[in-house]
Chains A and B, each alone.
Chain A
Amino acid sequence: MNIAAGLATYLADTWGSEVIVGDISTTTAGARRHNVIFDAIVEGSTRRLVATIVPAGETILNEIDAEAGVRSLAEQGGVAVPHVHLCRTDGELVGGPFMVSDYVAGETVPRRVLRLVAEHGIGDLVAEQLGESLGRLHAIDPAAVPVPLRELDADDPTGAALRFLTEAVDQLPQRRPALELGLCWLERHLPLPPDRVSIVHTDVRNGNVIVGPDGLRAVLDWEGALAAGDPMQDVAWPALRMWRFREDHLEIGGFASRTPYVVGYERAGGRFDEERFRWWKVEGTLRWAVGLASQTAAYLEGRVPSIVMAASGRRVPELEWDLLMLIRPR
C-alpha cells in the first residue's frame, strides 16, 4: 500500500488543492495505531503533519472520529493539542480509519521528558500546565462532544469502576490477597457519586504529553476518552508511581510535586478533592495490575503469543507493592 499517495489524495480532497506528500516515516508505533510523520506540500508551502491510522480489525475504545472530535473540542476549550486537519472513518487508501494532525516538536518518551525538564528547570511549570489542561478539559460541557464518546456509568463512576475491578480480579488465573485487600479498601472508602461529571481523558500522564524547553506543548492520545466521568479520575492518573520512571519522590510524572499541579487545576476552574484523588490513585494502580495480569492471561490462552505479554504478569508484584503503599492503614 502506498500510504504517501493515499494521504495526498485525502488531503487534496479536503484542502481543494494538489498536495505532494514526502519525507514520510513511521514512528512510535503504538500498540493499537500507527503514527506516520510526513511533509505535505500544498501551494508551495510545506506542513509537517502526523497521520494516526487505526489498522483494520483492531479493537478500539473510541472510533477515530469521536477521538478527533473530543480533541478538537478540547482545543477550543484551551487545552494544548495537535490541531486536527482531517479525519476519515473510511481510509482504504492508507489501511484504515485515520486522522491527520499537526506535528508538534518536542519530547514524548518519559525518561527523555524527565531529562529535558530537569535540564531546563521546568518541572513545576509543566505540572502547573498539566493541571491547567485538565481543569480546562473538565470545564467543557460534556454535551458539546460532536461525536458520541464511549460511556461507562455517568451516574455512579466510582461504583462502576469498583464493579469492573471486582469482576476483573475474579477472572485472574490466580487469587492474589494483595489485590483483594485493594478491593476491600476501595469498597470501604467508596466516595459518593461526584457533584458533577465531566469529559475524562483517562490517560493523561508522562508518556502521553509533548514537552519542549518552554513547557507543555500538547496532550496526546485521546483514544480512551469517556463521555462523562469523575474528573478526579483524570487528576489522579498522572500521579501514579508507574508514570514517575524512578523519580518516585516527585508525585506528578516524576518531575514535580502535587502543589503546582493542583494550583494549575484550580486556576482553570477545577475543584481538587483529596479524598477522591486518593481513591482514584488506588483504583488506577489496581486497574493497572489487573490489566497486566490480563495481558498474561492472553498469552497463556494462546491469543497473543508475545514475550512482552508473557512478561506482563511478572510486573504484577510491583503494582501490588505500590497498591499496598497507597492503602497503608492510617
Chain B
Amino acid sequence: MQFPPDAADLLAAIARLLDEDVLGAVPPQLQHPVRVAAHLSHVVERELRLAPQHAANERLLLTELLGADVEDPAATLAARLRAGDAPELEAQAWPVLVEIARQDVAVAKPGHDSWEGE
C-alpha cells in the first residue's frame, strides 16, 4: 500500500506543473506537446477516479442488453452488430451505447455530452 498522495492526486500535480510552469518556459515547437501532456494527465487522473465504477456499470448494461453474461461483452455486441441479423438489437443498443459513451467522455472530455444535437 503506497503512502498518499494517491495516483490521481499525483497526476493532478503533474498536470498543474505542466500547465502553470512548464508551458510558458518551453520553446514554441514544444508548447503543443506539453499542452497535450497536461491534458492527458487530467484524463488519466479522471480515469483513475471513475474507471472502477464505469467498468462495472458498462458490464451491467451490456450484459442486460445481450441477455447473457459473457467474458467480453463489448466485443460480443460488436460481433453481433456486425453480423447484421438483428435490427431490433441495433435499436436496443443505441440508448445503452449512449450511456456508455457518456461515461467515456466524462473521462476523455467532460461536458462533451451536453450537446445532444447533430
Query: Could you tell me the distance between the alpha carbons of A311 and B109 in the complex, rounded to whole angstroms?
Result: 12
Q: Is the CB of B118 within 8 A of A318?
A: no
As a 0/1 sequence over residues 57 to 80 of chain B, the CB contacts with chain A under 8 angstroms (1 = contact) are: 000001000000000001101110
Residues of B within 8 A of A176 (CB): 74, 78
Secondary structure dominating the interface of A: helix
Given A281-B118, A324-B98, A325-B118, decide whether A181 and B109 contact each other with a Cβ distance below 8 A.
Answer: no
How long is the Cα–Cα vector from A219 to B97 in the complex, in angstroms? 37
A274-299 interface code vs B (CB 8 A; 1 in, 0 out): 00001001000000000000000000
Total interface residues on B, CB under 8 Å, equals 37
Chain B positions 66 through 110: 1 when the CB is less than 8 Å from some CB of chain A, otherwise 0: 000000001101110110100100110110011011101101110
Find chain B residues with CB under 8 A from A178 CB: 97, 100-101
Q: Confirm or deny: B40 has a beta carbon within 8 angstroms of a beta carbon on chain A.
A: yes
Q: With A178-B101, A318-B109, A328-B94 as given contacts, are A248 and B117 in contact (CB-CB < 8 Å)?
A: yes
Interface check A308, CB cutoff 8 A? yes
Per the bound structure, the CA–CA distance linking A321 and B108 in Å amounts to 11
B21-75 with Cβ < 8 A to chain A: 32-33, 36-37, 39-40, 43, 62, 74-75
Q: How far is the CA of A325 from the CA of B118 in the complex (A)?
A: 6
Assembly CA distance A321 to B102 (angstroms):
7
A34 to B100, CA, bound (A): 40
CB distance from B82 to the nearest CB of A (A): 6
Which chain A residues (256-281) contact chain B, with CB distance < 8 Å?
278, 281
Tell me if B116 counts as interface (CB < 8 A to partner A).
Answer: yes
Residues of chain B within 8 A of A324, CB atoms compared: 94, 97-98, 101
A187 within 8 A of B: yes
- The residue from B33, B39, B78, B102 contacting A177, defined by CB atoms under 8 A apart: B78
Q: Which residues of A contact B102 (CB under 8 A)?
A: 321
Q: Which of B33, B90, B93, B112 contacts A318, CB < 8 Å?
A: B112
Q: Which chain A residues border B118 with CB–CB below 8 Å?
A: 241, 251, 278, 281, 325-326
Q: Please give the residue numbers on chain B whose beta carbons come within 8 Å of chain A beta carbons, in ascending order.
A: 32-33, 36-37, 39-40, 43, 62, 74-75, 77-79, 81-82, 84, 87, 90-91, 93-94, 97-98, 100-102, 104-105, 107-109, 112-113, 115-118
